[in-house]
Structure 1
Amino acid sequence: MAGSGSTDEPVEPDGLSVDRNPVGGVTVVTVAGEVDHRTAGTLRRALMPTDSGPAPRTVADLSGVGFMDSSGINVLIAAHQAHEAGGWLRLAGVRRPVLRTLEMVGLTGLLACYPSVRAALDA
């Protein structure tokens, strides 16, 4: 989902890349790589609302993420809390290994997961 408003953070070796694009008033954050203690800061910067408006809305496309440890879980919780003031954070394309981790810690009851970015935007 490339767009003129994107801000990219490049992939480092064994790192994480993120791409932020506005889509109809929603920020879509496309993530690729592994989320661990070394890359969690990159994910945190990408998911935190940058708009000072009252209702931030973000879809995190995690279809490119094959691994997430507790550092990533903590980032998702913090990002969810940052969106609570009338906004929302939705997850899209979560791959089975990451989804299993989210299920084990109970985050799927807190964060809505959708099969695709389009489904998350349309919900």
Structure 2
Amino acid sequence: MTEEEVADPENLPQPDRLQVTADATDEIHVLTPAGEIDHHTGDTLRQALDAISTPRPRVVVDLHQVTFMDSSGINILIAAHRALTDAGGRLRLARPTAPVLRTLQIVGIDTVIDCHTTLPEALKK
């Protein structure tokens, strides 16, 4: 690679971006993040969670498209769980990928926040 190619921002590796889609089913908000949740991308998920302003919000975060999650993601989920619980709502997690499930299990989040293997299970009232 020449110096010009290295200096070109299009040739530099870009951190994975996180995209979050939002949907609602039976008054349950379903957020589906796709990509990596870390200290560079976590604000995208945090903002999506903060945007839910219904009374007694019920939220499911569908993790089937998340390829990596570090402690930043764990902290976001814990804060959301506390905020939703305080508002009379709830947070559930659905379909974590194997690496994400391992992270959730290592830190014990799966014992604090309901974690389901399928989306229909997480959506049950």
User: TM-score normalised to the size of structure 2?
Assistant: 0.83
Residues 36-95 of structure 1 deviation map (CA, whole Å, 9 limit, x = unaligned): 111000011112352241x11000000000100011011001110111032110000101
Measure, in 1, the Cα distance between the counterparts of 2:119 and 2:49.
15
Structure 2 residue aligned with 1:51, among 50, 53, 58?
A: 53
Which residue number corresponds to residue 96 of structure 2? 94
2:6 is aligned with 1:16: no
> SS where residue 35 of structure 2 aligns?
strand
> Residue deviations 1:6-57, cap 9 Å, x none?
xxxxxx861111011111100000111000111000011112352241x110
1:1-123, aligned counterparts within 5 Å? 14-48=16-50, 50-53=52-55, 55-84=56-85, 85-123=87-125
**SS of match in other structure, 1:15:** coil
Gaps of 5+ in 2: 1-13
Q: How many residues align?
A: 111
Tell me how large the CA RMSD over aligned residues is. 1.5
Larger helix proportion of the pair: 2
Compare 41-50 and 103-112 and name the one that shifted more: 41-50
Higher strand share: 1
Identity of matched residues, %: 50
Larger of the two Rg values belongs to structure: 2
